[in-house]
Structure 1
Amino acid sequence: MPIRSPSPVTRTALAPLLLALAAALAPLAPAAATTPGARSTLPAPSPEARRLHALFAEAWEDSARRYPEWATYRGDHRYGDKLSDHSPEAEAAARALRQRYEQRLRAIPRERLNAQDRVSYDMFLRNLQQERELDRYEGYRSLSIGSLWGFHTSLANLMRQSPARSEKDLQNILARFAAYPKRVDQELARLERGLQLGWVSSRPVLERALQQLDAQLSADVTRSPLYEPFSRSGKELPEATLSALQSQGQEALRSQVYPAMRKLSSFLRERYLPQAPADGAYQRYPLGAEVYAALVRLHTTTPLSPDEVHEIGLAQVKRLRAEMEAVREQAGFKGSLAEFIAAIKNDPAQYYPDGESLLAGYRDIAKRIDPELPRLFAELPRAPYGIRAMPAFMGPGAAENYSRPEPGGRSAGWFNANALAFQRKPKWAMETLVAHEAMPGHHLQGARAAELNDLPEFRRNAFITAYGEGWALYAETLGSELGLYQTPYSRFGHLQAQMLRATRLVVDTGLHAKGWGRQQAIDYMLEQGGEDPVFIASEVDRYYSNPGQALAYMMGKLRIEALRDRARQALGERFQLRDFHMVVLDQGAVPLDVLERRVDEWVAEQLKRGKAAARKPS
C-alpha cells in the first residue's frame, strides 16, 4: 500500500502525505543483522561534480523553505512555524525557479561526471521535466481533495509528525494554526479555478473526503486529531507552561482552524459537490486522456501506453487465478474458487475480536520475520520500526500504509495499520501485508536508502513509485523464505494480495482509458480476488483520486523479478540472492530503466571477476 512520503510531483505539497494519528506504540527492535558499514571513500570531486552537488544542496534547501510541511515530514523542523504559500504568485515563482535549475543543470558537462553523479544528474533532470510536463495541466493540478489523502486531511497528518517536546515546538504549531485560514483560502481559489476549467473530483471521492473532514471537527476540541501534539506533549514542560499552551491550542482550534475547515467543508458541499461527476474517469476531463498517459509514464517509469499496461494486467490476472485454484485444491476444498473464498472469509476463527488484538497479531508476524532477514540481506538498516493504528477518521476502508523514519534516528518507521478493519481483515491476509509495509518491504528499502550517505539528500529521500512499491510487492514474494505462508490459507492470502495488484493494472486503465464505470471496476475486482467489498469500493475511489499510481506496484515487481532471473541465469552458481538484493537497494529509489542498467553492470562485474579468478594459477 502507499508509502507516506513526499513525492517530487504532486498536485499540492501535501497531497501524498498521510501519517497515522493514533498514540505511538513502542517500536519493534531492528532485526538482528550486520549493521551497515561506512560507505566507500570517494576520490576528490571534480569541479563539475562540485557544481552539481552545490545545485542539489541549493534546491534541497529551497524546497524546505518553500514547502515547510515537506521539511517537517523529512525531519527538518527549522520552518516548523510556517505553512507553504500556494498563491498564484508563489506558484509562478516556483516554476521560474525550476526553469533556472534546469538551465544550470544543463550547463554542467554530464560526460565529465562519474557514474553515480550521472545517475543523480539524470534523476534531477527527470524530476524537473516531470514537473514541467504536469505544470501544463492546471485543471489536473487543482484536484487536491482525494479519498485516501489530500488537502482536507493534511493539517491533521502534519500534527502527528510535528515535534511537541518543547515550548517552541508548541508555539510553532500555534503559528501554523494561525496561518491555516489563509492556506484554506488559497486552496479554495485553486478548487474554484479547477471548476472553471472543468476539473472536479468525482462524487464518491468527495463524499469520502467530507466524512474525513467532518470527523476532525469534534465538538470537544481535545478529541480532535488536530489537537494531538498538545495531548502528546508534557514530559519536558513545566505543568503551568503546558496548561497555558494547551489552552491556547484549544482556543486556536475553535477560533482559527475549525472555522477555516468549516469554510472548506461548506464550499465542497455547496459549490463543488453539485458539479461533481458520478465518476472520476480522466477521459471525461479536458485533455484528460493526455494527462492520464503522462501519469502512467510517471508512475511506471516506462514508455508503456495504458492499453499495453491493461494487457499485462489481464495476463497477470489469468496467471494468478490459476495459482489460486491450485491452492484451493491443496486445501482439499471441493467447491469452486468463489465458494472457497466465501468459506474462509466467513470463518469467525480467522478474525481478531478487536483492533488491539489485530495490531498485536501484526507485531507477532513482524517478530517472526526479523530473525530470518540476514539470510536474504547482507546488510539491514539501523533505524527501528513499529506498528501502530492509523487515524480513526480515515475510516475502516482505508488502506494500510507506511511512514518513513526521520533522518538521524530521531523517529522510527511505522507500519500504519487500520485497526478499525479487524472485522474485515482475516488472519490469513496479514502476513503478506507485514512483509509489504514493514520488513523486508517499505521499511527496509526506505530506511536503507536514508543511510546511503554517498548519495545527495534528494536521492536518499526520493520515492519513485514503481521502484518503491515494486520493491515492497517483490518483498511479499520472499515470504516463504522468511517462514511465512506455511498454510494453504496464508498462501492464498499472499496470492490474493498479488491478485489485487494485478487487477489494478486492468481496472485503473479500464477506468481512465477504456470507459469502465465505477461499479464495473468494483465487480471485476470482487470477482477476481474476493476481497472485502468495503475495501474494494475504497480502492476504486482511490484510483479516481490518484490515477496511475496503483499501476506501479505490479509493474515494478515484475521488472525486479525479471532482473533477478536474468542475473541468476547469467551467473549460474555464482549468483547470490543476498548480493542481488543489495545491488537493488543500494541505489536508493531509481527509475526502472536506471535499475536495469545497474543490475546489468553488476552482472558484468561478477562475470569479469569470475574470469579473473579462473585465470589465477592454483
Structure 2
Amino acid sequence: MIKKMITIACLAIVCTACKNEKTIKESSSEVDVSARFNEMLNNYYEDGLKLNPVQATFAGDNRFNDQFPNPLSEEIVNKKKAYYTKYKEELTAFNDTTLSDNQKMTKAILNWECDINLEKFNFKTDYFPIDQMWSINLVAGQLASGASAQPFKTVEDYNNWLKRLEGYLEWLASSEEKMKEGIKQGYVLPKSLIIKVLPQLEALTVEDLDKHLFYTPVKNFPEGFSEEDKKQLTDAYSKMVGNKIIPAYKSLHQFMSTTYLDAGRSSSGIADIPNGSDFYSYQIKLYTTTNMTADEIHKLGLSEVARISAEMEKIKEQVGYKGDLKSFFDYVRNRKELMPFTKPQQVIDNFNAIHDRMKPQIEKLFDVKPKTPFEVRRTEAFREKSASAEYNPGSLDGTRPGIFYTPIPDATKYNVYSDESLFLHEAIPGHHYQISLTQESEVLPKFRKTLWYSGYGEGWALYSESLGKELGLYTDPYQYFGMLGAEMHRAIRLVVDTGLHSKGWTREQAIQYSLDNEAESEAGITSEIERYMANPGQALSYKIGQLKIRELRAKAEKELDDKFDIRQFHNQVLETGCVPLALLEDKINTWIATVK
C-alpha cells in the first residue's frame, strides 16, 4: 500500500513536471510570437519612414531631413506597392489566438492600412499632383519658412534643407509632366481650382530674394553661427533660390496659367474623370473607414441639416431676432459687435482667453492630459487667403509644440461667433489632445502613433465641440449658435460633397445650398466648396465619426447607468489612437461589457 502510494505520488510529480514544462514551453512560444510580431511592426514603421521622410520630419525624427524621394516617380510608386504587399503577407503568419488584445487590434489596423493603400494604386491620383489646399508644394512652403517641422538650428540643418530641395525640385518638374499627361488622358482639375493655385505659385516667383519665402532661413541665423558659415550658407541659399527655385515656380506658373487652365474642367465633381465614380467610392471608404454609400450619406446629411436647423431656430428666438433663419445667418455674418478686432494679435489673444476659461472644468472630463506644449499662431501669409483653420501636431518627443493655425487675412472683418467651438475642435480637447496623447502613448507601436484616420480623428474633434457647455463655454447664445453653425457646416458637407461627386451638382449649386443653410460668409463657403472639389470624400469624415462617438457614449451612459464615468469613456476612446470606426465600436462594446 505504501509502495503503491509512493508510486502514485512519483507519477503525480512527473505529471506535474510535464505540465509545468508544457506551460513553460507555451509561455515561451507566446513570448517568441509577441517578440516577432513587435519586430515586424517596428520594421514596418522604419521602412515607412524611408519612403516618407517628410513624415518622419514632422514626427520629430531628424534622420532623413535631407531626403525628398519623388512620390511621382515610377521607382517610388513600385517601392510603395512592394512595401504594403510585403507587410500584408507577413501579417498572415500571426494567428489571433497567439496575440494580446492590443496586438489583435494592431493587426487589424495594419491589415486595413495595407489594403486601403494598395487599393489606391488602382486610380490615377498622380495626375492631380497640385491643388489649392492639399498638395506637397504647400507643405514645402511651410517647411521653407523655418517656422515649421524642418529644423534650422545648426549648419547641418541648413545644408539638409538644401539637399531636400533638390528632391523637391524634381517633384515640381514631375508634377508638370504628370499634369500634361493628365490632360491627354482626361484627368484635369476644374478651372475654378486652377485659378486658386495660380496666386500661390506666383507668390514664389518674386525675384527679390529678401521677399522670397524660401530665402527666409538665412535671414534668421541662430546665435553662434560663424561669419564664415553665414557667408557660405547665404551664398548657397541665394543660388538655390535664385537659380533653381524661382525658375521652377515660373515654369510651373506659366504652364498652369496657360495650357493647364485652358484644359481645365467646367464640371465640378470627380465623377467626370475616367473611373471617377469608383474613385469616389474608394475615397468614401478611405475617409470614413466605413462601407457607407454616397446615397446613404446624402440622406443622412439632409436629416442632420433639418435637425440642426430646428436647434438654430431656438437660438434665433432667444436673441429676439424676428426674421427667418436665412436672414439671421446674414445678421450674424455682418453683426459689427461680433467683429471687435483691429489687429491679428487680438484674434490670437481671444483664443488664449477661451483656453483660460475652460481650464477649471477640464479635470471633470479628462483625467489624462497630454504633456506636449501647445500654441496658437496666425497662418502664414503665402497661404492665408485660401487656408482654413488647422492643427499641426507637435513632435513625438514633445520638443516641438502642437500648433493651432488660424487665418486672419483681415482682422477688422474677423467674426468671433464660432471661436469657442473652433478652439475645442482644432485645439483642446480636439486635435491637440487626441494626437498628442497618441504620440505620447507607451503601449502603442510606433506606426500607430503617427497614423491618421479622418473618420476617427475629425470625428473626435467634432465631438469635442459638443463638450463646450460641460467645459464652461457657450454661455453667450451667439457662441452656442457658433457651435450649431460648426455642426451644421459638417452636416452640410455630407449633402454637398455627395452632391458634387455623385449627383452631378455644380460648384454654384453647392455654394447656394450652403448659403441657404449656414451663417458662414460667401467667401468662406466658396473656399470650402472648392476644398471638397479638390479632395472628394474628406469632408464626410467629420460628421460620420462624430455621430459614431456620440452613439457609443449614449450607449455606454444607458447601459452602465451610475457606473458610467465620462473620464473613463474618454480614456477608452483616446487610448487607441486613430482606428477605423468599426474597431473603435468593438472596443467600446467590450469595455461596456467588462464594466457591467
What is the aligned partner in structure 2 of residue 157 from structure 1?
142
Q: Give the superposition deviation at 1:548.
A: 0.3
Q: Single out whichever of 174-183 and 361-370 deviates more from structure 2.
A: 174-183
Q: Give the superposition deviation at 1:45.
A: 6.1
What is the aligned partner in structure 2 of residue 29 from structure 1?
none
Determine which of 287, 292, 304 is the counterpart of 1:304: 292
Residue 315 of structure 1 pairs with residue 300 of structure 2? no
Give the distance between the partners of 1:321 and 1:272, measured in 2 at CA.
Answer: 41
Q: Give the superposition deviation at 1:468.
A: 0.4
Q: Give the superposition deviation at 1:256.
A: 1.3
Equivalent pair of 1:177/1:253 in contact (CA under 8 Å): no
Q: Give the superposition deviation at 1:240.
A: 4.1
Deviation digits for residues 394-451 of structure 1 (CA, Å, limit 9, x no counterpart) = 1334210000000112200000011215344312211110111100100000000111
Deviation digits for residues 127-159 of structure 1 (CA, Å, limit 9, x no counterpart) = 110111110112x33212122121332321232
Q: Single out whichever of 107-116 and 308-317 deviates more from structure 2.
A: 107-116
Residue 504 of structure 1 pairs with residue 464 of structure 2? no
Give the distance between the partners of 1:547 and 1:539, measured in 2 at CA.
Answer: 12
Q: Single out whichever of 225-234 and 585-594 deviates more from structure 2.
A: 225-234
Q: Which amino acid aligns with 2:349?
A: A
Residue 74 of structure 1 pairs with residue 59 of structure 2? yes
Determine which of 257, 276, 288 is the counterpart of 2:276: 288
Determine which of 219, 223, 242 is the counterpart of 2:230: 242
What is the aligned partner in structure 2 of residue 170 from structure 1?
158
Equivalent pair of 1:503/1:525 in contact (CA under 8 Å): yes
Equivalent pair of 2:134/2:535 in contact (CA under 8 Å): no
What is the aligned partner in structure 1 of residue 83 from structure 2?
97
Equivalent pair of 1:370/1:439 in contact (CA under 8 Å): no
Change (3 A) 1:249 1:330: same
Give the distance between the partners of 1:314 and 1:174, measured in 2 at CA.
Answer: 50
Q: Which amino acid aligns with 1:96?
A: A
Q: Within 5 Å, give how 1:88-487 maps onto structure 2.
A: 88-138=74-124, 140-159=125-144, 160-351=148-339, 352-487=341-476
Q: Any unmatched runs of 5+ in structure 2?
A: 1-26
Q: Give the superposition deviation at 1:393.
A: 1.6
Give the distance between the partners of 1:125 and 1:232, measured in 2 at CA.
Answer: 45
Q: Give the superposition deviation at 1:176.
A: 2.1
What is the aligned partner in structure 1 of residue 24 from structure 2?
none
Question: Which SS does the other structure have where 2:539 is aligned?
Answer: helix
Question: Which SS does the other structure have where 1:416 is aligned?
Answer: strand
Determine which of 17, 34, 38 is the counterpart of 1:53: 38
Equivalent pair of 1:165/1:237 in contact (CA under 8 Å): no
Q: Give the superposition deviation at 1:195.
A: 2.5
Give the distance between the partners of 1:112 and 1:236, measured in 2 at CA.
Answer: 55
Equivalent pair of 1:66/1:85 in contact (CA under 8 Å): no
Q: Which amino acid aligns with 1:356?
A: Q
What is the aligned partner in structure 2 of residue 562 from structure 1?
551
Give the distance between the partners of 1:131 and 1:92, measured in 2 at CA.
Answer: 13
Equivalent pair of 2:332/2:519 in contact (CA under 8 Å): no
Give the distance between the partners of 2:79 and 2:277, measured in 1 at CA.
Answer: 28
Give the distance between the partners of 1:424 and 1:591, measured in 2 at CA.
Answer: 39
Change (3 A) 1:577 1:409: same
Query: Quick one: higher RCO (CA 8 Å, sep 6+), 1 or 2?
Result: 1
Give the distance between the partners of 1:43 and 1:320, measured in 2 at CA.
Answer: 57
Give the distance between the partners of 1:392 and 1:45, measured in 2 at CA.
Answer: 55
Deviation digits for residues 90-131 of structure 1 (CA, Å, limit 9, x no counterpart) = 212321232122111222223321111111111111111011
Give the distance between the partners of 1:146 and 1:568, measured in 2 at CA.
Answer: 44
Give the distance between the partners of 2:429 and 2:76, measured in 1 at CA.
Answer: 40
Residue 582 of structure 1 pairs with residue 567 of structure 2? no
Equivalent pair of 1:376/1:578 in contact (CA under 8 Å): yes
Q: Give the superposition deviation at 1:480.
A: 0.9
What is the aligned partner in structure 1 of residue 9 from structure 2?
none
Give the distance between the partners of 1:431 and 1:505, measured in 2 at CA.
Answer: 23
Q: Which amino acid aligns with 1:150?
A: S
Question: Which SS does the other structure have where 1:414 is aligned?
Answer: strand
Deviation digits for residues 323-362 of structure 1 (CA, Å, limit 9, x no counterpart) = 0000000111222222323223222221111222112212
Q: Which amino acid aligns with 1:81?
A: D
Could you state the TM-score of these two structures normalised by the residue count of structure 2? 0.92
Q: Single out whichever of 129-138 and 547-556 deviates more from structure 2.
A: 129-138
Equivalent pair of 2:65/2:161 in contact (CA under 8 Å): yes
Equivalent pair of 1:155/1:226 in contact (CA under 8 Å): no
What is the aligned partner in structure 2 of residue 616 from structure 1?
none
Give the distance between the partners of 1:422 and 1:279, measured in 2 at CA.
Answer: 34
Q: Any unmatched runs of 5+ in structure 1?
A: 1-41, 608-618
Question: Which SS does the other structure have where 2:239 is aligned?
Answer: helix
Among the aligned pairs, what percent are the same residue? Answer: 32
What is the aligned partner in structure 2 of residue 36 from structure 1?
none
Give the distance between the partners of 1:204 and 1:578, measured in 2 at CA.
Answer: 46
Equivalent pair of 1:386/1:415 in contact (CA under 8 Å): yes
Change (3 A) 1:43 1:107: closer
Structure richer in helix, relative to its length:
2
Give the distance between the partners of 2:439 and 2:364, measured in 1 at CA.
Answer: 22
**How many residue pairs were aligned?**
565
Larger-Rg structure? 2
Deviation digits for residues 134-189 of structure 1 (CA, Å, limit 9, x no counterpart) = 10112x33212122121332321232321000000001112123333322222223
Give the distance between the partners of 2:30 and 2:234, measured in 1 at CA.
Answer: 51
What is the aligned partner in structure 2 of residue 34 from structure 1?
none
What is the aligned partner in structure 2 of residue 26 from structure 1?
none
Give the distance between the partners of 2:589 and 2:515, measured in 1 at CA.
Answer: 39
Q: Give the superposition deviation at 1:239.
A: 4.2
Q: Give the superposition deviation at 1:319.
A: 0.5
What is the aligned partner in structure 2 of residue 35 from structure 1?
none
Could you state the TM-score of these two structures normalised by the residue count of structure 1? 0.88
Deviation digits for residues 276-306 of structure 1 (CA, Å, limit 9, x no counterpart) = 1023311111110011011111111111100
Give the distance between the partners of 1:462 and 1:154, measured in 2 at CA.
Answer: 18
Give the distance between the partners of 1:154 and 1:573, measured in 2 at CA.
Answer: 48
Q: Which amino acid aligns with 1:431?
A: E
What is the aligned partner in structure 1 of residue 506 from structure 2?
517
Give the distance between the partners of 1:129 and 1:545, measured in 2 at CA.
Answer: 23
The Cα RMSD (Å) is: 1.8
Give the distance between the partners of 2:42 and 2:410, measured in 1 at CA.
Answer: 43
Q: Give the superposition deviation at 1:604.
A: 0.8
Q: Single out whichever of 243-252 and 525-534 deviates more from structure 2.
A: 243-252
Q: Which amino acid aligns with 1:235?
A: E
Q: Single out whichever of 438-447 and 60-69 deviates more from structure 2.
A: 60-69
Q: Which amino acid aligns with 1:63?
A: G
Q: Which amino acid aligns with 1:396?
A: K
Q: Give the superposition deviation at 1:310.
A: 0.4
Q: Which amino acid aligns with 2:501?
A: H
Q: Which amino acid aligns with 1:274?
A: D
Equivalent pair of 2:51/2:69 in contact (CA under 8 Å): yes
Change (3 A) 1:595 1:370: same
Change (3 A) 1:421 1:604: farther
Q: Which amino acid aligns with 1:301?
A: T
Equivalent pair of 1:470/1:555 in contact (CA under 8 Å): yes
Question: Which SS does the other structure have where 2:425 is aligned?
Answer: helix
Q: Single out whichever of 236-245 and 500-509 deviates more from structure 2.
A: 236-245
Give the distance between the partners of 1:459 and 1:590, measured in 2 at CA.
Answer: 9
Question: Which SS does the other structure have where 2:443 is aligned?
Answer: coil
Q: Single out whichever of 270-279 and 543-552 deviates more from structure 2.
A: 270-279
